[in-house]
Structure 1
Amino acid sequence: MYARVAIASNALPTPGLPAAVANALHQAAVEGLHAHGRLVFGSNGDAVELIKAVQSGPGLPPDARRRWSEMLIHLAKIKRITISRPDTVPVASINALADLRQHWGGHADVAVVAAEACEPLGVPVDEWLLTDTGQRPDVATTATVPQCSAIKRLRGLADHATAPRGSSRDQFWRDVLEPLATGAQQATVVDRYLFKALWDLTTGKHWTTGWRGEHLGWLLRRLDAVMGASAEVRLIGAASRDHPTMTAERTADALRTLWAPESAGRLARVTITLAAPGRPASFPHDRHIRFSTGGAVLLAAGFDRLRAAVITDEDGMNWQYRWSRAALQELTSTERRAAALPGAGAVVLERPAASVERTA
C-alpha cells in the first residue's frame, strides 16, 4: 500500500497562490503521502536539504510548513524513510528525463519536482504530471502528486478492497500486506479464531484431510523475509471450547512445526497470546493486522480466508485499509484489551540470536 516517493528539495514552494489554495494543495499532498508514501532520498545530504526547505525555505505557507514537518517526523519515527545505498544523484539536480529514470527508475515510483523543472524534464507544463506506463518514476509536482498513477493505483486498491473468489493469496500479500510489512519492527494480529485451523490440523480433525496448508505458517514465513531486523510478530487469539487442551504452550509447539525459529530470518520473536474470556463476546469482534510502519488491514471474515493458496469463499475476501493515527490508536487499544482479558496467557518463540538476520 506504499509507493516509493523521492521529493526534490526545491519542489515545495508554491509562490503566487493565495495562502488558502496553497495550504489545500500541500494538505492533499501530505495526506496522500501519509497514507500511501514511503520517502526515498539519494543520500543523507539530500534528506537534510528537504528538511531545511521545510523548516526555513521560501514559498511555503506556515500551515503547510507545519504539515510537512509533522509528516517527516512521523514517517521517520515509523521507519518509512529510506536513504539510498550507495548515494544517488538528488532529484533536484537532474534536468533530463533520461537521467531521472537512469538514476531513480530502480529506487522510486514517483519523483516530485519543482514546477520550473517540468519543462526541462519533458513534463507537460499544463498538467505538471507525467506517467509513462512501464517507465519509472512518475513525475509530479507537489500539486499533482495525489493524481500520479502510482498513488492512484494504491488508492483505488484500497477503495475496492476485495480479493475475489479464485484470486491468489500471494497476490494479496504482494499488493496489500508486503508493502506494509517491509521494514516493520512489529506486526500485531488480532483474530478470535486465529489459531482454529492450526488446532484442527494438530488434533487431526477429519475435515483437514484434504487441506494443503493453513494461514499462520504462510503468513509468518512471508513476514520473516521482509520485516525489519530483529522484528516481532504478536499473535492474539481466543481459546476454544472445541479445543480445550490447546493452551498457549501447546499452540506455540504446534506453530513451531510451521515456523522454525532455528532457521535464519528477520524475526527475533513471535509472541502467542491466548485469551480465555468468560464470555465470548468479551473478545474484540474485529480482526486485523497492524504494522509499525503506520498501516493496518482489517479482515472482517477473519484470517482463515487465507488458509488455501486461492480465495475459495464464494464472496471472496473483503478488507479495509487503515492509516490515520486515530484509527491506528483504536486498533492498538483493541489489542491491549484482548491481551488483558482474564485467563490470557502468552508464550514467546525466540529465535537464537545467531539466526536473526540483521541486515536487509
Structure 2
Amino acid sequence: MERLADQLGYDFWRPLMRAIDSSGPGVFRARPPHDMSVHDYALAGDLEQLQAVVDLLVLGSSDRAPGVPPTVARALYDDHGYASFTNGLEVALSSAVDQSETVHRLKALHRETIIPAGTLRTAVWDTYFRPLARVSTEVNIFDRFLFSGLVKTSKFNGNASLLTWLLDSLDRDLPRNATVNLFARSGNRVADENHDKTAQPYSVGDISDAVKKSRRWRRNGRLHLYVDDALDHDRHVRFSCGHAIMPQGGFDKLRFREGALLKPFSYAYVPPGDGLNRRADEEAKARSRGIHYVHRSKDEGFVRQA
C-alpha cells in the first residue's frame, strides 16, 4: 500500500484516511441491503450481492475469505494473490492489490490526460468516471454548452445522446440518494453563439424531453438544473468524494459512433486542494445568479424554483 500511495499520490490517500478517521464529510459509507455486512455476504458465498457493496476486497496474507470457491482460493493464496469474478468483484491480497483493475483505473485517471479515439463508450465511463461516481453522494456537471446538442439547425435535428448517456451511467453507479446538479447556459445564449444562422434555441422543456429518453433515470427530485448565461469558461464534473475532471474542449466533444469515441478527448484531473475549491466556488456563484429548476419526474419535467 505504501508503494501505491507513492504512485497515486498522497493527495489521493491522505484526505480519505483523515475523513475516515474523523467520520467527516466526503466519505460515503455503503449500506448493503438487509443490513448485511461484507463478512456476511462472503460467508454466504453471495458474491453477486457483495459486488453491489464493493469493487475491490483487500485481504491480509493470513486472512481467509469465507465463501470463496476453491479455484479462486488457489489463485488468491497459492498463485497470484489476486482473483476476479465474472460479476466484476475483485479480491486481492495486500501484497498484490496493484494487480486489480480497480487500482489500474484509479492510476489511469491520475496519469493519463487524453482518452484515445476508438475507446469504447463503456470503457470511457468505467475507467474515468465510475470509480468516482461509486463513492459520491453529489455530482456537479458544469459546462456552458452542456446542452448544445439540443440546438436544431436546418441541417441538424438535435441529439440528446450525451445527456442520456451521462444520466444512465450516473443512475447505475451513484448511491441511492445521490444528487446530480447540471450547470449550463440558456438555449437563447447558446443558439446566438452558433455559427449557423438557422440555429434554434432549446428550452427547459426540451431538456425535460431529453431526460425522458434516459432509460434508467428515476431519481425524482434528485436532478437540479441551474441556467446561468454568465457561466465561466471552465468546464468540469466535480464529485463529492473530493475529485474533479476538467475536459479541455467541453463535454459535447464526447462523441461516439457505433459505441466508440470519435476523436481523442483531453482532460485534466483535479485533486483535493485549491483547484477543486475554485470549481466549487464557480458552482456557488452560478447557483446564486442562475435560474434554478428541479426535475420532479419524467411526467412533470423540470419545475422552476422560487
Give 2:291's aligned residue.
346
- Does residue 110 of structure 2 align to residue 110 of structure 1? no
2:5 corresponds to which letter in structure 1? A
Question: Partner of 1:259: helix, strand, or coil?
Answer: helix
The TM-score with structure 1 as length reference comes to 0.59
Give 2:81's aligned residue.
130
Question: Partner of 1:80: helix, strand, or coil?
Answer: coil
**Ranges in structure 2 where 5+ consecutive residues have no aligned partner:** 65-72, 194-200, 301-306
Using the TM superposition, give the Cα deviation of residue 137 of structure 1 relative to its aligned residue in structure 2, in angstroms.
3.4
- Could you tell me whether the CA contact under 8 Å between 2:121 and 2:261 is conserved in 1? no
- Could you tell me whether the CA contact under 8 Å between 2:82 and 2:97 is conserved in 1? no
Aligned mate of 2:228, from 267, 275, 278: 275
Distance 2:96 2:18 in 1: 18
Alpha-carbon spacing, 1:34–1:242, altered in 2? closer, same or farther (3 Å) = closer
Aligned mate of 2:245, from 297, 311, 317: 297
2:243 corresponds to which letter in structure 1? G
Aligned mate of 2:118, from 166, 174, 185: 166
Aligned mate of 1:185, from 137, 157, 166: 137
Distance 1:288 1:175 in 2: 17
1:285 corresponds to which letter in structure 2? H
1:348 corresponds to which letter in structure 2? Y
Using the TM superposition, give the Cα deviation of residue 352 of structure 1 relative to its aligned residue in structure 2, in angstroms.
4.9
Give 1:147's aligned residue.
98
- Could you tell me whether the CA contact under 8 Å between 1:275 and 1:338 is conserved in 2? yes
Distance 2:15 2:133 in 1: 25
Question: Partner of 2:268: helix, strand, or coil?
Answer: strand
Using the TM superposition, give the Cα deviation of residue 351 of structure 1 relative to its aligned residue in structure 2, in angstroms.
1.4
Question: Partner of 1:111: helix, strand, or coil?
Answer: strand
CA-atom RMSD in angstroms: 4.5
- Could you tell me whether the CA contact under 8 Å between 2:227 and 2:290 is conserved in 1? yes
Aligned mate of 2:182, from 228, 235, 255: 235
Task: Give the greater-gyration-radius structure (CA).
Answer: 1
Aligned residues with identical type, % of pairs: 19
1:289 corresponds to which letter in structure 2? V
Deviations 1:59-115 (A, max 9, x none): xxxxxxx98862415777435322444535739xxxxxxx78946574344333345
Aligned mate of 2:219, from 266, 278, 285: 266
Alpha-carbon spacing, 1:351–1:230, altered in 2? closer, same or farther (3 Å) = farther
Distance 2:114 2:209 in 1: 31
- Could you tell me whether the CA contact under 8 Å between 2:142 and 2:183 is conserved in 1? yes
- Could you tell me whether the CA contact under 8 Å between 2:28 and 2:137 is conserved in 1? no
**Ranges in structure 1 where 5+ consecutive residues have no aligned partner:** 1-23, 37-65, 92-98, 278-282, 356-360
2:280 corresponds to which letter in structure 1? T
1:172 corresponds to which letter in structure 2? V
Give 1:217's aligned residue.
164
1:271 corresponds to which letter in structure 2? H
- Does residue 204 of structure 2 align to residue 252 of structure 1? yes
- Could you tell me whether the CA contact under 8 Å between 1:228 and 1:266 is conserved in 2? no
Using the TM superposition, give the Cα deviation of residue 331 of structure 1 relative to its aligned residue in structure 2, in angstroms.
1.8
- 1:43-122 mapped onto 2 (5 Å cutoff): 70-73=18-21, 77-86=25-34, 87-88=36-37, 90=39, 102=45, 106-107=50-51, 108-117=54-63
